[in-house]
Amino acid sequence: MAGACHDVLVAHSSASAGALLRHVRTGRARSRAELVALTGASRNTVSARVDQLIAANLLAEGGRGWSTGGRPPTLLRFNSGAGCVLAVDLGVTSVDVAVTDLSAEILATVGHPIDIADGPGPVLAEVDRLAQLVLAEAGLEPVDVCAVGVGVPGPVEHSSGRPSHPPIMPGWHDFPIPSAFGRYECPVYVDNDVNVMALGEMGAAGSVQDVLVVKVGTGIGCGVIVDGRVYRGAQGSAGDIGHIHVSTPDGRVVTCRCGQENCLEALAGGGALLRDAVAAGLPVGSTREVVERAAHGDGAAIELVREAGRTIGTVLAALVNFFNPHRIVVTGGVAQAGVPLLAGIRESVYRRSMPLAARALEITVSAAPELSGRIGAALMAIEGFLDEEAVEQALVR
């Protein structure tokens, strides 16, 4: 009897208005008939809930599908223009702000240099200024914003949107980031930038794979995707691989910004890459210049980037043995070096991972590392706004 009740509850949940909307949004279903087949719910139940979503302007009808006998079905489509979200990708030295529709299509975007160490007041004031610029460019008003997504370069308590002792964000600990977006009177979602990038790499259609998304920039972090969903851990700090201890072959000791010695970030992050390039006599003044030199074939820069990749790969090999992901995707500013970084990572991962774990493993560089933060922040906001429970509440208002 308990099993039967469980089955009824599962079927009911899978046919809620929010679940039906998700199926259409992600392309799993394109008509009422396909929703009936997918959920097992009755035709009347599905039609009633679809009608609610159409009345709420979240779904629209148009066009005819292929017929397998009888009248061709009327196609359903998600109305991505029913609202917009603000997407904020906060970095250590720059911020990108975008406004997107509800399918994460960018309508307007702008970037600007910042110094995250200036603290939340000045930085979030600049974010607010940029948000007003992109809304104006897209012909939108604050009232049109349904949700805000923010990625920050440090650990975050996801439930409250407060950074927690972020090593490279002095003055940000426990600051209520959502409070800076009060003018929009909508939900605000905040997460670690790597988790946000992981969402961006999965895209609007999502995925059912287990994936590691590794950001290599000023810092190093890892977004963990389990069955297509971000895994945050008990307190939201899962994937903080930048502060895993790494032994060096030459016994070198490097102090990290967190105060510990030989953290992965201190040996192979963007700052470490610049430090080692200057020590090697390269005429560079920023990590970006090192990356550009490597991308354009400079031998010394290539070897520095490749060695950073090897160091990162030693940590990723342990994760591969433990987690056994389908894919590893490398993103972030240093990822724009491309082949040298990827070659170093692959060398260590395939050498140190167990054969079974690495047999079908794909390791790739992001197709658009400069966009994944903004797209991910938008998707985080959209998923929160169109969460199954949130949709149900919106329909009964």
pLDDT(63) > 70: no
pLDDT-derived band at 376, boundaries 50, 70, 90: very high
The pLDDT assigned to 353 comes to 95
**Residue 217 and residue 245 in one domain:** yes
pLDDT(7) > 60: no
pLDDT(315) > 90: yes
- Span 94-143, pLDDT tens digits: 999 999 999 999 999 999 999 999 999 999 999 999 999 999 999 999 99
375-391 average pLDDT score = 93
Relative to beta strand 327-331, strand 362-365 is: parallel
* Range with the poorest average pLDDT among 110-114, 154-158, 237-241, 366-370: 366-370
Question: Whole-angstrom Cα distance, residue 344 to residue 72?
Answer: 54
Give the residue numbers spanning the domain of 65: 17-78
**Residue 174 and residue 315 in one domain:** no
pLDDT(65) > 60: no
Q: Which of 54, 78, 102 is the last residue of a domain?
A: 78
**Residue 194 and residue 212 in one domain:** no
Residues above pLDDT 90, as percent of the chain: 70
Q: Which of 78, 95, 112 is the last residue of a domain?
A: 78
Please, which residues have CB within 8 angstroms of residue 302's CB and are 6 or more apart in sequence? 294, 340
pLDDT(8) > 50: no
* Range with the poorest average pLDDT among 65-79, 174-188, 266-280, 296-310: 65-79
pLDDT-derived band at 67, boundaries 50, 70, 90: low
Asked if residue 8 is part of any domain, the answer here is: no
The pLDDT assigned to 206 comes to 65
Asked if residue 6 is part of any domain, the answer here is: no
Question: Whole-angstrom Cα distance, residue 346 to residue 310?
Answer: 8
Output the domain CATH number for residue 49: 1.10.10.10
**Residue 245 and residue 351 in one domain:** yes
pLDDT(236) > 50: yes
**Residue 172 and residue 277 in one domain:** no
pLDDT(9) > 90: no
Asked if residue 9 is part of any domain, the answer here is: no
Question: Whole-angstrom Cα distance, residue 256 to residue 265?
Answer: 7
**Residue 275 and residue 209 in one domain:** yes
Asked if residue 97 is part of any domain, the answer here is: yes
What pTM was computed for the model?
0.85
CA 228 to chain centre: 12
Q: How far are the Cα atoms of 241, 349, 377 from residue 354, in angstroms, in the given order?
A: 20, 9, 34
Burial (Cβ within 10 Å: 0-12, 13-18, ≥19) of residue 275: middle
Q: What is the DSSP string of 306-325?
A: HHHHHHHHHHHHHHHHHH--
The pLDDT assigned to 71 comes to 65
How many structural domains does the chain have? 3
Asked if residue 4 is part of any domain, the answer here is: no
Q: Which of 78, 97, 120 is the last residue of a domain?
A: 78
pLDDT-derived band at 333, boundaries 50, 70, 90: confident
**Residue 115 and residue 216 in one domain:** no
Q: Between helices 17-25 and 43-55, what is the axis angle to 10°?
A: 80
* Positive or negative torsion for Cα 248, 253, 258, 259: positive
Q: What is the DSSP string of 62-114?
A: EEE---SSSSPPEEEEE-GGG-EEEEEEE-SSEEEEEEE-TT--EEEEEEEE-
pLDDT-derived band at 368, boundaries 50, 70, 90: confident
Asked if residue 233 is part of any domain, the answer here is: yes
**Residue 62 and residue 163 in one domain:** no
- Span 47-57, pLDDT tens digits: 999 999 999 99
Please, which residues have CB within 8 angstroms of residue 211's CB and are 6 or more apart in sequence? 198, 201, 202, 225, 325, 326, 327, 328, 329
pLDDT-derived band at 5, boundaries 50, 70, 90: very low
* Range with the poorest average pLDDT among 78-82, 203-207, 297-301, 336-340: 203-207
Asked if residue 378 is part of any domain, the answer here is: yes
246-254 average pLDDT score = 89
The pLDDT assigned to 205 comes to 58
**Residue 209 and residue 317 in one domain:** yes
The pLDDT assigned to 6 comes to 39
Question: Whole-angstrom Cα distance, residue 94 to residue 114?
Answer: 5
Relative to beta strand 211-216, strand 220-226 is: antiparallel
Spatial CA neighbour of 215 closest among 170, 159, 268, 168: 268
**Residue 152 and residue 67 in one domain:** no
**Residue 209 and residue 195 in one domain:** no
pLDDT-derived band at 62, boundaries 50, 70, 90: confident
Output the domain CATH number for residue 229: 3.30.420.40
**Residue 215 and residue 274 in one domain:** yes
Asked if residue 176 is part of any domain, the answer here is: yes
Phi, psi of 38, deg, nearest 5: -75, -40
